[in-house]
């Protein structure tokens, strides 16, 4: 009997420890970001924040290239995008791109057999489109990226495939005729291990599925204002919070999620961010599908795409708002 109760006690102790392991140990700090009494606080843990800071150190830039060398197009054979750069600027960018995207593999990740003009490696074809995309972000999406802008490093961080990309999620396999689960109850990481719908990205960050769900009438008027629709929106919002490492109240006053007048300016930046990500996914990333080898595509055959986490990686401003673009004016847009 005693042995049994000891065992029971041991099991309870173990279960208790396991439960607590999911909690963060103090100290926890909070910062007030809205009017008093609105509960608009950001909660931080200085210890984990330190880890995030260390992971977001910005690498040193190579010194700027002299401006007096001949145009790259006069020397090289197959320059289609960087037609405005001179040879020195072009070479500096090639070296930087290598550091940012393929430091281990080197130039060979995009160029094979010493023939730099050939377009035989898929990564080069992809990188050419990436150059156009990066310039497009920095010129046409200033409402989101401001003058801080982005470089290849913002997403790639020293690896060919960014840490956070997504493809369409077919969801877990279920027995035939198991009913329509409405993409719910599958505890996906991207919606914070909740039971919310597991593929918010296809709907909201590629598709233009409407996000507002609050009704303007006392009784529900149509399907847009149903609980089911709200769950979809919440799934997306979990991703927004997770990717930026913030709470809902970084953007909203939680007594009125819909109300822009009670929201923070960051919510507007986020609104543009959603439109920007849709644009990148539809015009740049999805069309690259046929260029990639099969193993890069998702289980349903679509190309890898971006979400908020691709740039932000857990921080409210990527790389804590440090601009690498100022050292890389060639990525801010084509010189005239």
Site for ligand HEC in 185-214 (CB under 6 A): 211-214
Task: Report whether 263 contacts 253 (CB < 8 A).
Answer: yes
Decide if residue 308 touches ligand HEC (CB under 6 A).
yes
Dihedral Cα 318, 306, 117, 89, nearest 10 deg = -20
Nearest approach, Cβ of residue 141 and ligand HEC (Å): 7
User: 88-127: which residues touch ligand HEC (CB under 6 A)?
Assistant: 94-95, 97-98, 101-102, 107, 109-111, 116-117, 123-124, 126-127
CA pair distance 164, 304, nearest whole angstrom = 10
User: 234-253: which residues touch ligand HEC (CB under 6 A)?
Assistant: 234, 237-238, 240-241, 244, 246, 248, 250-252
Binding residue (CB under 6 A) for ligand HEC from 273, 315, 328, 330: 273
User: 141-170: which residues touch ligand HEC (CB under 6 A)?
Assistant: 144-146, 148, 150, 152, 154-156, 160-162, 165
Task: Compose the 10-29 pattern: x for residues touching ligand HEC by CB under 6 A, - for all others.
Answer: --------------------
Closest-CA residue to 251 (of 274, 225, 228, 217): 274
Closest-CA residue to 232 (of 189, 259, 203): 203
Decide if residue 324 touches ligand HEC (CB under 6 A).
no
Task: Report whether 249 contacts 238 (CB < 8 A).
Answer: no
Q: Kindly tell me which of 2 and 294 has the beta carbon lying closer to ligand HEC.
A: 294
CA pair distance 46, 27, nearest whole angstrom = 7
Decide if residue 269 touches ligand HEC (CB under 6 A).
yes
Q: Kindly tell me which of 36 and 104 has the beta carbon lying closer to ligand HEC.
A: 104
Q: How many CB atoms lie within 10 A of CB 241?
A: 17
Q: Kindly tell me which of 181 and 278 has the beta carbon lying closer to ligand HEC.
A: 278
Decide if residue 266 touches ligand HEC (CB under 6 A).
yes
Upstream peptide bond of 27 is cis (omega within 30 degrees of 0): yes
Closest-CA residue to 303 (of 235, 206, 226, 209): 206
Q: Kindly tell me which of 181 and 317 has the beta carbon lying closer to ligand HEC.
A: 317
Decide if residue 44 touches ligand HEC (CB under 6 A).
no
CA pair distance 228, 82, nearest whole angstrom = 48
């Amino acid at each position: 009997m005693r042995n049994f109760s000891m065992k029971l006690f041991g099991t309870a102790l173990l279960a208790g420890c396991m439960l607590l392991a999911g909690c963060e140990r103090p100290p926890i700090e909070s910062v007030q970001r809205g009017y008093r009494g609105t509960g608009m606080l950001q909660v931080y843990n200085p210890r984990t924040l330190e880890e995030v800071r260390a992971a977001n150190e910005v690498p040193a830039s190579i010194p700027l290239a002299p401006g007096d060398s001949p145009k790259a197009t006069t020397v090289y054979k197959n320059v289609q995008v960087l037609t405005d750069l001179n040879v020195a600027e072009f070479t500096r960018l090639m070296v930087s791109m290598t550091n940012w995207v393929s430091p281990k593999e080197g130039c060979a990740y995009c160029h094979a057999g010493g023939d730099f003009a050939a377009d035989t490696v898929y990564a080069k074809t992809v990188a050419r489109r990436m150059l156009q995309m990066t310039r497009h972000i920095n010129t046409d999406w200033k409402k989101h990226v401001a003058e801080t802008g982005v470089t290849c490093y913002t997403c790639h961080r020293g690896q060919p495939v960014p840490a956070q990309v997504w493809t369409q999620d077919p969801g877990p396999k279920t027995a035939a005729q198991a009913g329509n689960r409405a993409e719910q109850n599958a505890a996906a990481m991207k919606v914070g291990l909740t039971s919310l719908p597991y593929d918010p990205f296809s709907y909201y960050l590629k598709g233009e599925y409407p996000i507002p769900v609050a009704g303007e009438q006392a009784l529900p008027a149509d399907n847009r204002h149903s609980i089911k629709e709200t769950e979809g929106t919440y799934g997306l919002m979990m991703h927004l919070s997770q990717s930026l490492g913030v709470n809902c109240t970084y953007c909203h006053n939680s007594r009125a999620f819909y109300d822009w007048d009670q929201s923070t300016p960051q919510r507007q930046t986020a609104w543009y961010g959603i439109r920007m990500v849709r644009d990148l996914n539809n015009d740049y990333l999805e069309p690259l599908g046929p260029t990639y080898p099969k193993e890069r595509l998702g289980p349903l055959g679509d190309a890898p795409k971006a979400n908020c986490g691709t740039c932000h990686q857990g921080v409210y401003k990527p790389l804590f708002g440090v601009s690498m673009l100022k050292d890389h004016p060639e990525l801010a847009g084509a010189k005239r």
